[in-house]
Amino acid sequence: MKPRQKRLAVIVGIVAAVGIAAALVLNAFQSNLVFFYSPSQVAAQEAPVGRTFRLGGLVEAGSVQRDGVTVRFAVTDTVKTIPVRFQGILPDLFKEGKGVVAQGQVGTDGVFVAREVLAKHDENYMPPEAADALKRAGAVNQKLSGTLVKESTK
């Protein structure tokens, strides 16, 4: 093998090794990537089916039902509500009407099966994704109420 061919083989080997390493890193990153969706987005079927994602919003008042270690509650963004089932111990700060982010998947019955539930940690904090979803839902509510007011005045 000539020196030129050896250099070419080394360069090809390095490029192949870097390509394989990049593919492995991207594959690991893709499998650990978890997106956030609001209840309106989940109801509109924008959330991935069969993949883990985060659902955030407010715990709907009067929706918490406990059956042993299984807890059922609903997460709302004031426009849409998604039922959630969680098996385990909820955080101490989990309360009705407060912000929550649940990580899990939507089951075949349309119920979000949470594997992890995160609650807000102080009076003024709300997960940014949940706050944005509520702001967007609030904007939609205002638009809808404005439309209803306009229609009722006609």
In tens, the pLDDT along 87-127 reads 999 988 888 888 899 999 998 888 999 999 998 665 566 67
CA distances from 112 to 71, 109, 150 (A): 12, 9, 36
Q: How far apart are CA 30 and CA 34, in angstroms?
A: 9
Question: DSSP for 88-136?
Answer: SPPPTT--TTSEEEEEEEE-TTS-EEEEEEEE--SSS---HHHHHHHHH
DSSP secondary structure letter of residue 48: P
pTM above 0.75, yes or no: no
In tens, the pLDDT along 68-90 reads 889 999 999 888 999 999 999 99
